[in-house]
């Protein structure tokens, strides 16, 4: 509730500011996430010159839809970026490589700015070895990724680690090229 109040306040300040220099510069995208209940002030943030004091209800709705669409696209882009960033491991190892740490730092950056994301970290292995042992190996991989993100400042309550063992290979095949792509931690993101 406090957060919402804060957001509303910021929105109000921003809109006042925008009103003052509406014709001089285009407003930046609001870095703070907006919820659907946040109505009126934003309408003034739009680029079009304001002809009348009150916009028609029609265009208001259209603008609101556009804003939500932009917000949705932005979130989707972020989610896609996280979900594309698989972290790879060495054979039968669950230690983070230097390359993995670089990727995880970027993911941590996104996640610490976006507290609505609930992230499931899936640990995977290559096809070699037994199903049982590979679930333990996948669990070690997903947990070390989770620990790294927490150490980087991401809220642990937003991170769930699970293991798929060797059950969900990304690439089919029985050569090192396929194996190396399957020894990974994968992110799945849902919005709370």
Partner 1 sequence: MKKMKLLFVLFALMLAVPATAAIDTIAVDVGISVFKTMPIGVLPFEEQGKIKWGGEAPHLILTRDANLSGRFEAVPSDKFDLVLFSKKRARQYVTGNATKLSNGKIKLDCYLYAAETKDLLLGESYTVKPQDVRLAVHSFFDKVVYRLFGERGVATTKLAYVSKIDGVKQVVISDYDGFERRQITHGESISMMPVWQKDNKGLVYVNFRHQRPNLYAISFGGTERALFPQFPQTFSPAVNPKTGELLFAVTDNGKTELYRGDMKSGSAKKFLHLQSNQVSPAWSPFASEVLFTSDRGGSPQVYAVGRDGTDVRRITYMGRYNERASWSPEGDRIVYTSMDEGKMNIYTCALDGTDIVQLTSNAGNNEHPTWSPDGKLIAFASDRGGNYQIYIMRKDGSGVTRITNGVENTSPTWSWFFEDIKVK
Give me 64's structure tokens: 């609101």
Site for partner 1 in 167-186 (CB under 8 A): 167-168
Q: Where are the extended beta strands (E) located within 69-170?
A: 87-88, 117-124, 159-165
How far is it, in rounded angstroms, from Cα 107 to Cα 189?
Answer: 12
Site for partner 1 in 113-152 (CB under 8 A): 120, 122, 128-133, 135-136, 139-140, 142-144, 146-147
Question: In the complex, what is the shortest distance from the CB of residue 42 to partner 1, in angstroms, rounded to a whole number?
Answer: 36
- Give the per-residue contact string, 82-101, with partner 1 (x = CB under 8 A; - = no): ----------x---------
Question: In the complex, what is the shortest distance from the CB of residue 84 to partner 1, in angstroms, rounded to a whole number?
Answer: 19
Q: Where are the extended beta strands (E) located within 103-176?
A: 117-124, 159-165
Question: Is 22:44 a contact under the CB 8 Å cutoff?
Answer: yes
Return residues touching partner 1 (CB under 8 A): 92, 120, 122, 128-133, 135-136, 139-140, 142-144, 146-147, 161-165, 167-168, 188
């Amino acid at each position: 509730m406090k957060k919402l109040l804060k957001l509303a306040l910021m929105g109000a300040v921003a809109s006042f500011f925008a009103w003052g220099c509406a014709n001089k510069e285009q407003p930046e995208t609001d870095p703070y996430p907006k919820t659907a209940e946040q109505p009126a002030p934003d309408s003034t943030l739009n680029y079009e010159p304001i002809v009348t004091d009150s916009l028609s209800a029609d265009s208001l709705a259209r603008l609101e839809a556009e804003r939500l669409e932009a917000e949705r696209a932005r979130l989707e882009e972020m989610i896609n970026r996280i979900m594309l960033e698989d972290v790879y491991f060495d054979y039968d190892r669950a230690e983070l490589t230097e390359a993995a740490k670089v990727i995880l730092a970027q993911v941590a950056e996104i996640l610490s700015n976006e507290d609505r994301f609930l992230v499931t970290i899936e640990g995977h292995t290559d096809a070699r070895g037994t199903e049982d042992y590979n679930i333990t190996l996948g669990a070690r991989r997903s947990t070390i990724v989770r620990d790294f993100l927490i150490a980087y400042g991401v809220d642990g309550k937003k991170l769930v680690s699970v293991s798929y063992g060797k059950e969900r290979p990304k690439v089919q095949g029985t050569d090192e090229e396929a194996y190396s792509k399957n020894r990974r931690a994968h992110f799945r993101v849902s919005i709370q």
